[in-house]
Amino acid sequence: MLPVLFGVSVVTFALIRLVPGDPVAVALGPDSRARPEDIAAIRAAYGLDEPQPMQYVRWMGHVLSGDLGKSFRSGRSLTEELALRLPVTIELTVLAAVLGLVPALFVGTLAAVRRNTGADYIATVSTLVGISVPNFLLATLLVLVFSLWLRWLPPIGYVELIRDPLGNVRSMVLPALSLGLPFAAVMMRITRSSILEVLGLDHVRVARAKGLRSASVLSRHVLRNAAIPVITVAGIQIARLLGGAVIVETIFGLPGIGRFVFEAIGTRDYPVVQGVTLVVALAFVFVSLVVDLLYAVVDPRLRMAN
């Protein structure tokens, strides 16, 4: 995990500085009449006058001490900003994962068990469409249908869960579907493929030859053996939902970290981009670690190997 986080920090630090535009000039605006000495003083206050290797070392020193820095634009601590915005992104990610994973496992299993039937063909076509349609286009279509035409759900905005639970659900349905449906398509495909592979193994044929019911064969001999590829892809895809939240939160006006970092890129707010990317990378590698630990729970052979 540590080498990955170190590599992410170096790449992010370098890439954001390749974006054209000076953060001080962007913050002051095109009509600013600030004198050169004032601009130099601002750059010195933010440490932008130092060589970039020194800026990186200083930034990492603060990160290792638990300080992610302050936003150039708002002047607030990045820790405070994340505390306000991270719950929104976590809620969106959890809802998208639930809305995507539960139907995907059911439909993927049904398509594998009833291979080459109408249900399998419908599931396969749905999977291809879900994988092909990007989430920004899907978000636009959902807003067009459910907000503008049917007027069932609000097209933009966020309501806190504590203040109005029903309003919170209404404001999160479309964003969660925009993230969850492509995720569901991927999981449906991998579930079907994994179960079909296990169904062709010798021990499954032996179980059927013994006269076991199909439901018993599926639950005792198929699902558990097919779970490892599903868990692997599910872990990676759930972590990727955090990246997809950047576009979805911007479209629906959600005050999460995705929209926060999107706006920070436009204003060249280096600390925000660096800090948020590092936090997302930490979440990604943590999910990967949890997936690795789940392997031993699902497959007893891995526990014996350890």
Per-residue pLDDT of the chain (306 residues; tens, 9 = 90+): 888 889 989 999 998 888 887 777 776 666 667 777 777 887 887 788 888 899 899 989 988 888 888 888 777 888 888 888 989 999 999 999 998 888 999 998 888 888 888 888 998 898 888 888 888 889 999 999 999 898 899 988 888 888 888 999 999 999 999 999 999 999 999 999 988 888 877 777 777 777 767 777 777 777 777 888 888 888 888 878 877 788 898 889 899 888 888 888 888 888 888 988 888 888 888 888 887 787 777 666 665 555
> Tokens at residue 177, please?
């579907």
Distance CA(2)–CA(281), nearest Å, equals 11
pTM of the shown model: 0.83
Q: Is the CB of residue 187 less than 8 Å from the CB of residue 233?
A: yes
Distance CA(93)–CA(167), nearest Å, equals 18
- Structural fold of domain 78-305: MetI-like fold (1.10.3720)
Smallest Cα–Cα separation from 218: which of 107, 111, 113, 103?
113
- What pLDDT score does 209 carry? 74
CA distance between the termini of the chain? 20
Q: Is the CB of residue 236 less than 8 Å from the CB of residue 278?
A: no
Strand partners for 70: 77
Distance CA(126)–CA(188), nearest Å, equals 9
Q: Is the CB of residue 92 less than 8 Å from the CB of residue 253?
A: no
Sorted by where each begins, the domain ranges of the chain are: 2-64, 78-305
Distance CA(86)–CA(91), nearest Å, equals 9
Size of the chain in residues: 306
- Rounded to 5°, the CA angle 82-4-248 comes to 40
Instruction: Count CA atoms closer than 13 A to 23's CA, side-chain side.
Output: 24
- What pLDDT score does 306 carry? 52
- What pLDDT score does 241 carry? 83
> Tokens at residue 157, please?
């905005």
- What pLDDT score does 143 carry? 92
Q: Is the CB of residue 238 less than 8 Å from the CB of residue 90?
A: no
- What pLDDT score does 176 carry? 93
- Rounded to 5°, the CA angle 250-252-258 comes to 35
Distance CA(129)–CA(197), nearest Å, equals 23
> 213 phi and psi, to 5 degrees?
-65, 155
Smallest Cα–Cα separation from 274: which of 19, 45, 8?
8
Distance CA(116)–CA(108), nearest Å, equals 13
> Tokens at residue 42, please?
């601002």
Sequence-distant contacts of 212-215: CB under 8 A, at least 24 apart: 214/113
Smallest Cα–Cα separation from 180: which of 147, 145, 142?
142
